[in-house]
Structure 1
């Protein structure tokens, strides 16, 4: 009787240990939820922008606050201010010699706007005047690739400012946005991956590597070429949401005309 009881106890212990180990293995083998580590409030599957830590630790460029003195901005039509489509601290990166910049232009009574790009020494290297009368939405300003405009150099930081000229005779009423952009180089592996990627994947690659300006430009071009593609619309919302520009994501991209140089 004693031997039988002892054997039964040993057998029961083995079963318990086996069951415990099975539970452990089952726990280790469970897949991690898809949303762990992902930013909140973003469109699933969209590009995930990660601003480089070096840029995050820098202070935003100093600039006067945007003002509505003189009733330039029509806040009754839209409460969103003039906004550069860049990370919150107005610091971005590009791999392009001649990048494109994007801005949200609110409804205003202004006739024109002005974009200026300065080199690291503060010298103006590009200036463009834009016609913005009765215009509102997201606009793009591209630096032209010609002999009169030097290309951005790798490793150097440039300053841009975008001004909505509310009153030509009283410039203190202008709406103003200021930011900086630095051109960087990509590794051979990333360049190779970009060459094989479709437009959506290219946007994701740029975003994952902190190259904001090219992620945005690439996606804007893809949306222009495929205006009915809802996946691209979702990517646009996700990308802008990553830099707290959710309110602008639904605004239309509009064409802006440039004024001829004098």
Structure 2
């Protein structure tokens, strides 16, 4: 009996040891392996190729602090405004309204600041326009320096359909000065007699210089990912323009469309993110360029 008991006891020890080994190996075999030596465009880790799964990443815009001095103020959305005699703007209401594709902050006192940075001498602006060229409305873009001197004024033709249009400064316009603030306006007048106020958006843009490390990073980053570097560094205008140009070259690229929606969603313009991107530059009805004094 003693020898049989010992044999049974040894058998049970072996069985339990094997069972423990199998249990301890199970989660290791089921857990995907993360490769810390490889990262995606946005700094996130991704699964190794043998796991055949990629972690979803999102590019967001990092809003830099507003520069010292008087707050920029501004208006990111258009809409009906009351005139001096209490009349509403002649422009019919739309959903969404005229919208500037720019970052904005809302302060505790309900003041909205529309402000962004650029590195370009002659940047581009993007606007969602809800009205079409079959309407007898006049549209105008204007730029002023920080002393309220007019730098540029351009009449814009309405697009064929509602969507996002691009307005760029031409080479004949004086380059934006570094560390100087400029105020821009995009205005739609729907009343030929101008008895009613227009609908408009406005904000402030400031040109900055990139530090050497960021310049090197951009030079070594593939074109499809450069916009993410701009966004992370708080350079809104180049982030949006770079991504828009990528979409222009690859209009059927679903990944780029998703990135466009992610970028606009990061500045709370989700309702504009799915609107058509009208990449052709609208024709000008009038062009006026004045040198800054």
Partner of 1:195: 219
Matched, 1:243 2:255: no
Which residue of 98, 109, 113 maps to 1:82? 98
1:131 deviation in Å?
A: 1.1
* Residue deviations 1:113-168 (CA, integer Å, cap 9, x gap): 1000001111011111011165411011000112xx11001100000000012123
Deviates most, 209-218 or 171-180: 171-180
Q: Report SS of the residue matched to 1:192.
A: helix
Q: TM-score, normalised by structure 2?
A: 0.68
CA contact (8 A) 1:111 1:131 kept: no
Partner of 1:67: 80
The number of equivalent residue pairs is 218
Alpha-carbon separation, structure 1, partners of 2:130 and 2:162: 5
1:71 deviation in Å?
A: 4.8
1:202 deviation in Å?
A: 0.7
Gaps of 5+ in 2: 1-33, 35-43, 45-54, 82-87, 105-112, 289-293
Aligned-residue CA RMSD in angstroms? 2.8
Partner of 1:45: 57
- State the structure with more CA Rg: 2
Matched, 1:154 2:178: yes
Gaps of 5+ in 1: 1-30, 32-37
- The 1:207–1:223 alpha-carbon spacing in structure 2 relative to 1, beyond 3 Å, is same
- The 1:234–1:174 alpha-carbon spacing in structure 2 relative to 1, beyond 3 Å, is same
1:261 deviation in Å?
A: 3.4
Partner of 1:164: 188
CA contact (8 A) 1:74 1:107 kept: no
- The 1:154–1:171 alpha-carbon spacing in structure 2 relative to 1, beyond 3 Å, is farther
1:237 deviation in Å?
A: 0.4
Q: TM-score, normalised by structure 1?
A: 0.75
Partner of 1:212: 236
Alpha-carbon separation, structure 2, partners of 1:227 and 1:174: 33
1:201 deviation in Å?
A: 1.5
1:1-262 alignment, distance < 5 Å: 44-54=56-66, 59-62=71-74, 66-67=79-80, 69=88, 71-73=90-92, 75=94, 79-88=95-104, 89-107=113-131, 109-132=135-158, 135-146=161-172, 149-170=173-194, 172-254=196-278, 255=280, 256-261=282-287
Deviates most, 115-124 or 103-112: 103-112
Q: Report SS of the residue matched to 1:54.
A: coil
Structure scoring higher RCO (CA < 8 A, sep ≥ 6) equals 1
Q: Report SS of the residue matched to 2:263.
A: helix
Alpha-carbon separation, structure 1, partners of 2:179 and 2:118: 10
* Residue deviations 1:154-187 (CA, integer Å, cap 9, x gap): 1000000000121232163311101000000001
- The 1:85–1:65 alpha-carbon spacing in structure 2 relative to 1, beyond 3 Å, is closer
Alpha-carbon separation, structure 2, partners of 1:53 and 1:161: 22
- The 1:228–1:133 alpha-carbon spacing in structure 2 relative to 1, beyond 3 Å, is closer
Structure number having the greater strand percentage: 2
